Structure 1
Amino acid sequence: TEVYSDKSIDKIGGSQSLIPDIKIEKSGNLNVLDNASFEIFYKDFASVLPIQERVTKETLNKMIRKELLESGVDTKFEFSVYNNNLATNVKSGDFKYNKEATYSIPVFTDNEGNSKYQLLVTFPQKKKFLLSELVSITILSIVFTLIIIIAYSSALNQLIRQRQISEIKNDFINNMTHEFKTPIATINLALDAIKNPKIIDDKDKVLRYLQMIKDENKRMHAQVENVLRISKLEKKELDISKESNNIHEIIEDAIDHVNLIIEDRQGTIKCDFKAVRTTVLINDVHFTNVIVNILENAVKYSPNTPEIEILTENIKDMVIIKVKDKGLGMSKVAQKRVFEKFYREHTGDIHNVKGHGLGLAYVKRIVDDHNGHVYVESEKGKGSTFIIKLPLIN
Structure 2
Amino acid sequence: MNYYFGKVAILEMIYIVIHSNQKFKSISLSKRNFVLFFIFIGIQWLEITKYFSILDFKNTSEIFFDLKAIAELLEASFLLDFIGFSLFFIFFIFSISLLLLFLDQEKEKNIYEKEKRINQALSDLAIQETENRYFKEIQYLVHDLKTPLFSISTLIEILELEEKNIRKLNYFKRIEDSLTRCNVMISEILNDSNKNNLFLDNVFNFIFSYLSTHNSINYLKFYNFSPKIKLKINQILFSRAIINLILNSYDAISNKKNGIINVIIKYYFSKILIIIEDNGIGIDQFQLKNIFNRGYSSKNSSGIGLNFVKTVIDEHKGKIFVISQKNKGTKFFVILGKECINYEK
- Calculate the TM-score normalised by the size of structure 2: 0.49
Higher percent of residues as helix: 2
Higher percent of residues as strand: 1
Larger-gyration structure (1/2) = 1
